[in-house]
Structure 1
Amino acid sequence: MTKLKVLSETDTSLRILFSGVNRAFLNSLRRTMIADVPKFAIDQMRVELGVFKNEETGELFESNYALSDEQLAHRFAMLPIPTFHDDFYFQDECPDCKDMVVDQRGCPSCQIIYTISSSGEDGGRSVVASEMNVIGDRRLEIPEAYGSIPLTKLYDGQVLHAYFYAIMGRGRDHAKYSPVSGVTFYSRQNGKINVKTRSKMLFDLNLNITAKDFNKEGILNDIDKVDLLRNDLNHVGSGTDLEADFNDAITLEDVEDEFIFQFETDGSMTARTCLEQACKELAGRFEALSNDFAEAL
């Protein structure tokens, strides 16, 4: 039976111990998170060109900036757009837009519109993500934690007036739609004392792990302490003066069918939401596969 235990969790990261699974299962979960979990991202932008006048000061600004349109579009596209899966549709599945031609699609149920109006100053001023304003639901504003992301720099006489259109997509179509980074898993390991006399060489260094951390059988199975032991072994392992004398007095051994799975999101959704959506995507895919087999047989 598959079991999981949450080892640590924040809004944007999750570390889980999986038991009773194999690498194939976890790799499918990893790939689903990267490529199939839906996420909002900016897909189009419209920049207002021309000369603009500040009505208060009479100062003139020109729609001009150092970055090319393509570079600017890429920077905006990678911003974490808040994604609420139950409240929005893909454009080709939207009840109000799916029957329209692609260029005419876009409604409050499948599209989010942002606007920005920023001007430069003498010596230059960085334009950051918090200067973007959403048209509509305020919970779709760029999260405060990411408001300081720099987008471009404007100098005296320069202005950026633009509209940005975000839609739902999947990472398999473009990296901007992938909600995760650093998705990885590895075998859970236990520390094992093989030779007590030589193991003192490590303990005498007064690092993180002591002999008292191991049980009577010479096994260390606390996950956090095993991580510390892994770091400590670098002081007596390959490439050190103590390598030959220590000679694997303490080793790390894999625990069968137990893996530690960890990842971070880009802030567009919580880590727990991402995991739930990935499981939902996998379940739907296997259900469709089962139905295909049933029809074929």
Structure 2
Amino acid sequence: MARRDERMSEEEEETEAESMSESESESQSGGEKSKGGLDYIMSLPDVPMKLPPHVELQRTRVLCNADAPNHTDTIQYSGAFASVGVDNSFRLDHFRDKFRVEVIRYSDEDMEFDMIGVDPALANAFRRILISEVPTMAIEKVLIANNTSAIQDEVLAHRLGLIPISVDPRLFEYADGNPLNERNSIVFKLHVRCERKKHLRRTVKASDLKWLPNGSELLESENSNSSSSSKPKTYTEFTCPQDSLPEFSDNPIGFKGKLGDIIIAKLGPGEEIELEVHAVKGIGKTHAKWSPVATAWYRMLPEVVLLEEVEDEVAENLKSKCPVGVFDIEDVANGKKRLTVSQPRACTLCRECIREGEEWEKRVSLRRVKDHFIFTVESAGALPPDVLFTEAVKILETKCESVISDLS
């Protein structure tokens, strides 16, 4: 009987200890669950904290195979990788830390820079704004007094409209149907003649257009019968000469540098052109003559990876396949040669290195970085390319502020 009582007491103590341990574990788990479901899941030891390598590669790279590129879409859904504990949502602090711009090449005519850490939609927004929404000055009205050249009046007017003007458009206002004055227009005149005895043929260039700081010199036809006492009315209403304004007094308006060499027409003996043109402010969305860039384009950063060691004859063969010289040969021990990737940025994705079968795709992998863009901006001549991009940033900022104000 005594032994039976001792066994019962021991069993009671074990049950009490188990109940106490269960209550403590429940209180601890309850405290952990109170932190939040995601925090509780992330605290488990078998939950991965990073994406698998093959998923990370698909998320950040475009794989360029011999037939077609794969994984070209950008994954923007915030919960796309929530099951593995990766937050894919957009965070401003993360964007600030990752975003940067690196200028690779710069001149007065063009600029190449890297835009890193942005979405393709944002890069394309800058491209579209540069082409169609940054304003410039261009010839809008052509008043032809005499044209005996072989070029029709319409073709001549079209040529004149496409000539870039060396002037800062930020110094002018939009005309918007208002009378042309010194603040919203520029007036040029052209009067050239090919003398029969002096020239067999004369080339008319943009530098032959002369700036009229006092405005138009042609009288409107409706005032031709007016009384002599009334002041003759021209096509512009300048209140003061433009060369008296401080922004133009030391910087005359015209066609400077290479712009002055643009050919307008070629005159034969006895042919003559006499006309007057009026330039106003506009944007490329209205007409291409107001586009400030010759071209603005971008491409994703190429990434060329050797998946295995390529040596000797195979290395020489692969180097000869690339037309832009992406690969190079280096000497290693024992007289062997090894292939290296020397200029991956020059890759044009022609796929010549992987075109001849699967064995070449096992040696070389061609990729594109989804958030790294090589931007090229070629100015038409009105403004330097860095100023054009700065103006594009301001326009996008204005658009964003407009959307925010409408939503609020």
3-state SS, counterpart of residue 170 of structure 2: coil
- Which amino acid in structure 2 is aligned with residue 128 of structure 1? K
CA contact (8 A) 1:18 1:258 kept: yes
Structure 2 distance, partners of 1:24, 1:212, is 40
Q: Among 84, 88, 110, which residue is 2:184 paired with?
A: 110
Question: Which residues of structure 2 form unaligned runs of 5+?
Answer: 1-94, 214-247, 332-338
Matched, 1:280 2:364: no
Structure 1 distance, partners of 2:330, 2:100, is 30
- Which amino acid in structure 2 is aligned with residue 126 of structure 1? T
3-state SS, counterpart of residue 14 of structure 1: strand
Higher relative contact order, structure no. (Cα contacts within 8 Å, ≥ 6 residues apart): 1
Structure 2 distance, partners of 1:118, 1:145, is 20
Q: Among 202, 205, 220, which residue is 1:125 paired with?
A: 202
Structure 2 distance, partners of 1:177, 1:31, is 14
How far did residue 141 of structure 1 move? 1.0
Residues 119-146 of structure 1 deviation map (CA, whole Å, 9 limit, x = unaligned)? 1245322211111111234532102212
Structure 2 distance, partners of 1:149, 1:73, is 14
CA contact (8 A) 1:120 1:153 kept: no
Structure 2 distance, partners of 1:44, 1:252, is 51
1:84 aligned residue:
168
How far did residue 34 of structure 1 move? 1.0
1:67 aligned residue:
151
CA contact (8 A) 2:303 2:345 kept: no
Q: How does 1:94-173 map to 2 (within 5 A)?
A: 102=177, 105-122=179-196, 123-136=200-213, 137=248, 138-173=251-286
Structure richer in strand, relative to its length: 1
Structure 2 distance, partners of 1:219, 1:291, is 53
Q: How does 1:1-297 map to 2 (within 5 A)?
A: 1=95, 2-49=99-146, 63-92=147-176, 102=177, 105-122=179-196, 123-136=200-213, 137=248, 138-197=251-310, 198-203=314-319, 208=325, 209-212=327-330, 220=341, 225-230=343-348, 236-238=353-355, 243-244=356-357, 247-248=360-361, 249-294=363-408
- The TM-score, its normalising length taken from structure 1, stands at 0.79
TM-aligned CA distance change 1:205 to 1:65, over 3 Å: closer
Question: Which residues of structure 1 form unaligned runs of 5+?
Answer: 50-62, 93-101
- The TM-score, its normalising length taken from structure 2, stands at 0.58
TM-aligned CA distance change 1:293 to 1:129, over 3 Å: same
CA RMSD in angstroms comes to 2.6
Structure 2 distance, partners of 1:204, 1:70, is 52
How far did residue 252 of structure 1 move? 2.4
3-state SS, counterpart of residue 4 of structure 1: strand
**4+ aligned runs moved over 6 Å, structure 1:** 204-207
Larger Rg, first or second structure (1 or 2): 2
Structure 1 distance, partners of 2:353, 2:170, is 52
Structure 2 distance, partners of 1:67, 1:192, is 56
TM-aligned CA distance change 1:64 to 1:11, over 3 Å: same
Structure 2 distance, partners of 1:170, 1:64, is 33
- Which amino acid in structure 1 is aligned with residue 372 of structure 2? E
3-state SS, counterpart of residue 191 of structure 1: strand
Structure richer in helix, relative to its length: 2
CA contact (8 A) 1:181 1:264 kept: yes
1:57 aligned residue:
none
CA contact (8 A) 1:199 1:250 kept: no
TM-aligned CA distance change 1:24 to 1:230, over 3 Å: closer
2:80 aligned residue:
none
